[in-house]
Each structure stands twice: as structure tokens, then as C-alpha cells.
Amino acid sequence: MKRRTAYNPKRQIRSAMDAPLIERLVAQVSYGGNPEHKRNPGDFGLTPPTSPRPDKTLCDVVGLFSRSIALGHLQCGIRKGLISIQTRGNFPQNIWAVTDSGEPLEAQLENSERGVYHGYPMPESDPFRDEVLQQWQIAQ
């Protein structure tokens, strides 16, 4: 499969979610990680532990070295309703969150049967970054 070289222009944040859906997603999602977004392997247990690519944003720049913290961001994004309209199976294709220091994160579904995601900091050049930051503030 050919790698995408531009940001997906179809990304949209769902406008509303009901409480049972939110709680189901929070309970079922998990975080896998991706060695392409890591310089420091942290406790992610990836194989290979790291394989940073020059065209990928690294979790290291926002201090994400713990699977449990990454999962916490993923679950917080769900609770605030920052999930994509697009789904695969029973899970949204994307979930967005913002770190305590104000860095927006994007997670992509990597296993649609088990609800496993990997995430990364959104680059400043990504036009959707501003939408995520704005929606995060609204959801406060």
C-alpha cells in the first residue's frame, strides 16, 4: 500500500456522542504504539523498539514515553468527544487529544477488531491541528 504524503482532508470530528458509546469506547480501546514515532522506546514493548522515520513526528518531543499515559490521552479524547466521523468496525478511525502542555495528538486505529490505536503529535503544518485545539477548548 502506498504511503500517504499529504494530510487527510476528510478528517472530521463527530458532532455528538451519547454517554453509552463514550463509556463503551473508553472501556474497549487500547494503545499499541508505532516504532516509527519513537526515538526512545519507553515502556511500549515494540518490535523493533524504535525505528524513527524522518517524515514522522516523534512522541519524544512531547514527552510521551509511557503506554499508560498514551492510553490516558486516548481515553480523555474520547470523553471529550474528539472522535472521527469515519469508523472501521465498532471504532472511530481517529481520536484526538491535547497534552497538558497544549500539544495536540492524533491517534489512528491500527486494529479495528480489538480497538488498538497508535498516536503521534500533530505537526504544526497540519491544518487540522487548529480544529483539534479549538474543539478541545470547547469541550473543557
In the predicted model, what is the mean pLDDT of the chain? 88
Domain presence at residue 12: no
What 3 state SS string does 63-89 have?
Answer: CCCCHHHHHHHHHHHHHCCCEECCEEC
CA distance 65 to 7: 25
Average pLDDT over every residue of 21-47: 83
Residue 4, pLDDT > 60, answer no
Residues 83, 85: Cα–Cα separation, whole Å: 7
Q: What pLDDT is stored for residue 42 in this prediction?
A: 77
In total, how many domains does the chain have?
1
Q: Is 8 inside any structural domain?
A: no
Please check whether residue 63 lies inside any domain of the structure: yes
What is the pLDDT confidence band of residue 49, given thresholds at 50, 70 and 90? low
Task: Let me know if 57 is exposed, middle or buried by CB neighbors in 10 A (0-12, 13-18, 19+).
Answer: buried
Give the type of residue at 57. Answer: T
For the entire predicted model, the pTM comes to: 0.88
Give the residue numbers spanning the domain of 53. 19-138
Cis, bond preceding 123 (omega within 30 deg of 0): no
Distance CA 74, CA 64 (A): 12
What sign does the dihedral 45-96-126-133 (CA atoms) show?
negative
Task: Give a yes or no: residue 104 inside a domain.
Answer: yes
DSSP type of residue 17: -
Report pLDDT for 71.
97
Q: Is 9 part of any domain?
A: no
26 within a domain of the structure (yes/no): yes
For the segment 73-132, what is each residue's pLDDT rounded down to a tens digit? 999 999 999 999 999 999 999 999 999 999 999 999 999 999 999 999 999 999 999 999
